[in-house]
């Protein structure tokens, strides 16, 4: 190497493990073939549904934190969030998708979730 290079760590294995995790989050290219195109589409759709579900949940938690929800409203929100989560669980099982697969790489912006 021609540059004045330093690479220094006292935890090489830990860093290798974490860097591999970052690289393994998503496939480098879309594997679109007739056998898995259905799963690929389901992954895309469910990712967007999961994003909306998380946003709803976050908004609800913020409102609870702000103290702006009544007891009845908390009950209704609880029921809605429970049903949404259960339905998502069912759909993930049907298409054989894991939680960590429901994400999108937005390039320079990082991952969607």
Partner 1 sequence: MKIYAYGIIDSHNSLKEPIAGLEGKGIYNVSYRDIGITVSELNEETKEITDTYILEHERIVERLMEDFTVLPMRFLTIFNTKEDILSMAELYYEDFKDNLARLHNKVEFGMKVIWPADTIKQRIIDVYHKTKHNVSISTESPAKTFVKEKFQEHIIEKEFQEEANRCIAVVDDYFNKIACEKKLKRLQTENLLLNASYLVDKQRQNDFKQAFEQLKNTPGDLKFLFSGSWPCYNFVTLTKKVASFDYFNTEDMLNRLLAQQGFAKERNAV
Interface positions with partner 1 (CB under 8 A): 1-12, 14-15, 18-19, 21-23, 28-29, 57-58, 60-61, 64-65, 67, 71, 74-79, 81-82, 105, 107, 110
Question: Of how many residues is the chain composed?
Answer: 113
If the CB atoms of residues 48 and 58 are measured against partner 1, the closer one turns out to be: 58
Of 49, 35, 57, 33, nearest to 91 (Cα)? Answer: 49
The minimum distance between CB 54 and partner 1, in angstroms, equals 11
Q: 18 or 96: whose CB is closer to partner 1?
A: 18
Helices 37-65 & 71-95 angle (0-180, nearest 10): 160
Per DSSP, what are the bridge partners of residue 111?
105
Residue 6: count of CB within 10 angstroms of its CB: 5
Rounded Cα–Cα distance for residues 56 and 54 (Å): 5
Beta carbon nearer to partner 1, 89 or 105? 105
> What's the closest the beta carbon of residue 96 comes to partner 1, in angstroms?
23
Q: Which is nearer to partner 1, 37 or 74 (CB)?
A: 74
């Amino acid at each position: 190497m021609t540059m004045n290079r330093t690479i220094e760590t006292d935890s090489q294995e830990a860093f290798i493990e974490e860097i591999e995790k970052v690289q393994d989050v998503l496939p480098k290219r879309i594997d679109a073939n007739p056998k898995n195109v259905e799963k690929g589409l389901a992954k895309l759709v469910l990712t967007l549904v999961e994003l909306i579900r998380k946003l709803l949940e976050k908004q609800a938690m913020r409102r609870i934190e702000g103290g702006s929800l009544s007891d009845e409203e908390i009950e209704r929100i609880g029921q809605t969030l429970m049903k949404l989560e259960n339905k998502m669980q069912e759909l993930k099982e049907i298409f054989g998708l894991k939680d960590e697969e429901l994400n999108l790489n937005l390039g320079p912006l990082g991952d969607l979730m």
